[in-house]
Amino acid sequence: MPELPEVETVRRGLAPVMEGQVIVRADVRRPDLRWPFPDNMAQRLTGARVERLRRRSKYILADLSTGETLLIHLGMSGRMQVSGTSVGTFAHEIAPLVKHDHVVLDMENGARIAFNDARRFGAMDLMATGQEAAHKLIAALGPEPLGNGFHADYLAERFSGKNTPIKAALLDQGIVAGLGNIYVCEVLHRVGVSPKRKAGNLSRRKIEALVPAVRAVLSEAIEAGGSSLRDHRQANGELGYFQHTFRVYGREGAPCATPGCGGTVKRIVQSGRSSFYCPQCQR
């Protein structure tokens, strides 16, 4: 599933062709994805101007001139594909519709944005602008890891007495929003903490190191266009390339990247997910 950097990369790619533009035609080509689309979604989108594109956790939020906000969740395999205009240095002709193009937005500037989702785990919804904090997908989310609400005091309070592994705690969207398996593995390697360590046993020093490490890993991944392991593409169709700088994720059996460590990356399974770490330098 796309994590925060991939979703932010898509948002940044969409902003130049959507913000300030009217949706001249919305084509909703099926009744649902993971859940049913809202009633009359095509009619509610057609003629609306996109005032602003935002991101909350792994969701893109498009504020519309109609007083509604369109929520977009990419799910496992969703892509927002832009054609008919220039995206950065790439020029794209209007692409013919293909299988799994489930929602198509034609903009007044000639751009076409197609939401393609082969597995149909994505979602779209409409809500009153400013009410997203109460939406069922957003209401229970923790603070943004790149925002001011995410800091060492907050983490220390949330981790206090917690007997779950630190890996599970950081993946808990109620503690911090947007983190996923890839980036948690990378963060824990940078701070030298085993994914098996109990969150409640983490020292204050390690918690204080964790916050800037989270921000650094996410920021670097965003600048690299995210990580393309299977389905992720940027809005211009290009791959992300942060996967080429992974220190542990997917590197089972490889030498540890920490200078002077000499350890070997190991893979374990925690709650059905692979965790990659170096037992030598992550304790």
Catalytic residue among 11, 58, 233, 247: 58
Phi, psi (deg, nearest 5) at residue 185 = -60, -45
Task: Kindly tell me if the per-residue pLDDT of 118 is higher than 70.
Answer: yes
Same domain flag for 162 and 205: yes
Catalytic residue among 2, 16, 145, 165: 2
2 is catalytic: yes
273 is catalytic: yes
Full 3-state SS string of 51-75: EEEEEECCEEEEEECCCEEEEEECC
Domain count, the chain: 2
Range of the domain at 66: 4-134
8 A C-beta contact, residue 215 and residue 95: no
Q: What is the pLDDT of residues 127-161, one digit of tens each?
A: 999 999 999 999 999 999 999 999 999 999 999 99
Same domain flag for 84 and 159: no
Same domain flag for 158 and 127: no
Task: Kindly tell me if the per-residue pLDDT of 283 is higher than 90.
Answer: yes
* Banded model confidence at residue 2, pLDDT cuts 50, 70, 90: confident
pTM score: 0.89
259 is catalytic: no
User: Has residue 282 been placed in a domain?
Assistant: no
Catalytic residue among 52, 198, 267, 273: 273
Q: What is the pLDDT of residues 189-208, one digit of tens each?
A: 999 999 999 999 999 999 99
> CA-CA distances (angstroms) from residue 217 to 130, 145, 161, 189?
30, 11, 27, 11
User: Has residue 283 been placed in a domain?
Assistant: no
